[in-house]
Amino acid sequence: MCGIVGFNGHKNGIPKIIKGLESLEYRGYDSAGIAYINNERITIKKEKGRIKNLKDLITEKENAYLGIGHTRWATHGEPTKENAHPHQQGKFTLVHNGIIENYMELQKILKDKHYAFISQTDTEVACALIDYYYQKDANIKMAILNASKQMRGAFAFGIICEDDKETLYAIRKTSPLIIAKSKDGNFIASDVPAILEFTNEYFLLNDLELAEITKDNITFYNEELKEIKKESSLFEGNLEASQKGGYEHFMLKEIHEQDEIIKNTIACYYDGTIASLDKSFPDLTKFNKIDIVACGSAYHTGLCAKSFIENYANIPVNVEVASEYRYKKCFYDKNTLVILVSQSGETADTLAALRKAKKDGITTLAIVNVVGSNIAREADYTLYIKAGCEIAVATTKAYLAQVAMFSLLAIYLGYKKGLIQEEELIEINKDIKNLPKMIRKTIDNDLYFKIADQIYENKNIFFIGRGLDYALCMEGSLKLKEISYINSVAYQAGELKHGTISLIEKDTPVIALSTEDELREKTISNIKEAKSRGAKVIYVTNKIPEEKFYDEIITIEKIHPILQSILTMIPLQLMSYKVAKNKNCDIDKPRNLAKSVTVE
Ligand code: M6R
């Protein structure tokens, strides 16, 4: 999704803005632009494609103390130079992240007031609307607020006005935006990595709060234009955490961090005693039904959670994709807990699902990575997964930390309901203690790369499994397609023969997972069905079989079933990574994708 960086300070802001934009590249974009004030003039430069194209337009002589930069992820109109931000209308120049849903209606009104538009974007309409209000009473802050109240949808704006060349303005509704303070000046940014080289002190804006940012001061206003005071927050991570640290890609670095991350996630909530979970979690024992709502990989962690919670705590769990849940009839009541899962905490559909449940008076719990994000702030209860900054678009460490969080939740609920006994808890604790070492050992295996070298030229790759393994297949398949662009399908092993098996031909790779003892025999029969139709079977298991019905075997260590998925996912992550690398794909920024999906 679009990235915003703005600066107003005592030193040249152009390099800072460009650097900030580069650190937001992970969000996904297709054009970049900057507007800055130099010699009392507002200059706009923008270009299609990578930030490098924008940099080529800026000479070293250019110097500006105030500017706004943008990376655009196209929503309205193609990725062209005309549609790139910043946009200018009348006295205003602005950058925008989000979608203005009623922009056509507003555009029509503005056209009648003689505004003309050169781009196809909703952003240019927003800019004209602010100018329109400003022309009425020459009050910049009022104009921004009045226009913002007229716009439906989600937005974060960085705004400059020709009549006040000393000030940067910012406002948001739903889309993320932080305001940061450094010794050289003040920033606005879509996400923390953009400011980390300069400062880690930042402020969060609530919906329709406005920031007036000069070189030395930041003043906040509420939607009635009353001045308000805000407390700043300090980002706990460091700059190194948002850099590659010697790895070729962020994705690889993040996979390699997983032993430490999982250790940390678990240690933050659980010291081996149920008392620690009692302290860490809200009392969830009164709920007799759980809805888990999320998108993409976060949705897949919900499928793992369903298996954990239903099997260990005997509570029915319904897992839903947020874009469906927000519009469907929900059969929840006061005994239902709605859990929202999101790495970014900003995903528009998940946020909308949360708001829907809250509006209906249902208790909500958010499982989130990014501290202070919308979902984290709005839910009744929030559990942070503590996975640190995740930069690669394809999630790995945050996915695994979400799964670990659900394992803890299932242990807690299972114990409280008397379904996990003391002896079993001792077994689980032993495995939790060894888990970081086991994760490390699972990561440090070059077999996955060798197998990836054998399959990367295939056009179709299948993942099959039953039960919990099927949930992992869904994530394995998504990982592969999002970064390698290979068409891949995840199937319940027993369903293959009801249609999909017709797609299997000689040497079609079938990655077959089997880690649950009670389902193993059945899964093996399904694997044999695929094998006898020519499939190249890559068998991923925690038990070496006596019979050879596979072409390659990946063995992972056996661990308590409530923790097993954490290990099983690792080979799938690394195989996808190597397949994409062999295909020269843009691994950290796959085409068309964005890290944080803040539009519907
Ligand atoms: O930030 P979120 O966890 O809410 O994001 C949800 C999905 O967009 C995300 O998991 C997506 O599927 C990942 N890119 C997959 O790797």
Convert the pLDDT of each residue in 73-93 to its tens digit. Answer: 888 888 899 999 999 999 999
- Residue whose CB lies within 8 A of the most ligand 1 atoms, among 350, 597, 598, for a mutation test: 597
In which order are the strands placed within the sheet that holds 336-342?
A: 317-321, 289-294, 336-342, 363-368, 381-384
Distance 396 CA to ligand 1 centre (A): 10
pLDDT at residue 192, as a whole number: 86
Separation in Å, CA 590 to CA 42, 229, 587? 34, 40, 6
Specify whether 229 is catalytic.
Answer: no
Query: If you take atom 16 of ligand 1, which residue's CA is the nearest one?
Result: 394
pLDDT at residue 18, as a whole number: 95
Query: If you take atom 9 of ligand 1, which residue's CA is the nearest one?
Result: 296
Ligand 1 neighbour 442 (Cβ under 6 A): no
CA angle 540, 541, 543 (to 5 degrees): 150
DSSP 355: H
Strand-pair category, 66-72 with 41-48? unpaired
pTM, rounded to two decimals: 0.79
Q: Taking the alpha carbons of 365, 368, 374, 377 in that order, is the dihedral positive or negative? A: positive
Q: Show the tokens assigned to 38.
A: 């130099």
Residue 350 near residue 295 (C-beta atoms within 8 A): yes
Q: Show the tokens assigned to 140.
A: 């910049």
Query: If you take atom 8 of ligand 1, which residue's CA is the nearest one?
Result: 296
Amino acid at site 510: V
pLDDT digits (tens, 9 = 90+) for 350-368: 999 999 999 999 999 999 9
From CA 409, how far away is CA 287, in angstroms rounded? 13
Ligand 1 neighbour 295 (Cβ under 6 A): yes
Ligand 1 neighbour 1 (Cβ under 6 A): no
Grouped pLDDT means (10 residues each) for the chain, 600 residues: 93 94 84 92 93 90 93 85 94 94 95 94 96 95 97 94 97 92 94 89 92 97 96 76 77 94 95 95 95 98 98 97 94 96 94 96 96 91 93 96 98 96 96 96 96 96 97 98 96 90 91 96 94 95 96 97 98 98 93 79
Specify whether 595 is catalytic.
Answer: yes
Query: If you take atom 10 of ligand 1, which residue's CA is the nearest one?
Result: 297
Distance 295 CA to ligand 1 centre (A): 6
Q: Among 123, 528, 169, 596, which residue's Cα sits nearest to residue 368?
A: 596
CA within 13 Å, CB half, 293: 32
Atom of ligand 1 nearest to the CA of 399: 10
From CA 232, how far away is CA 216, in angstroms rounded? 15
Residue 185 near residue 224 (C-beta atoms within 8 A): no
Q: Show the tokens assigned to 521.
A: 């025999």
Residue of 2, 161, 304, 585 with catalytic role? 2
Instruction: Report residue 561: phi and psi, to 5°.
Output: -55, -25
Question: Pseudo-torsion of CA 421, 263, 236, 354, nearest 10°?
Answer: -50
Ligand 1 neighbour 251 (Cβ under 6 A): no
From CA 4, how far away is CA 9, in angstroms rounded? 17
The H-or-E segment that residue 213 falls in is strand 210-213
Q: Show the tokens assigned to 582.
A: 């062999």
pLDDT at residue 238, as a whole number: 63
Neighbours of 9 (CB within 10 A): 21
Ligand 1 neighbour 572 (Cβ under 6 A): no
Look at the block and give the residue holding tokens 């009104």.
109
Residues 6 or more apart whose CB falls under 8 angstroms from that of 370 comprise: 191, 343, 344, 345, 346, 376
Residue of 536, 581, 589, 595 with catalytic role? 595
In which order are the strands placed within the sheet that holds 536-541?
A: 487-492, 460-465, 509-514, 536-541, 552-555
Distance 183 CA to ligand 1 centre (A): 35
Q: Show the tokens assigned to 159.
A: 């705004």
From CA 21, how far away is CA 4, in angstroms rounded? 7
pLDDT digits (tens, 9 = 90+) for 422-453: 999 999 999 999 999 999 999 999 999 999 99
Q: Show the tokens assigned to 226.
A: 């009353």
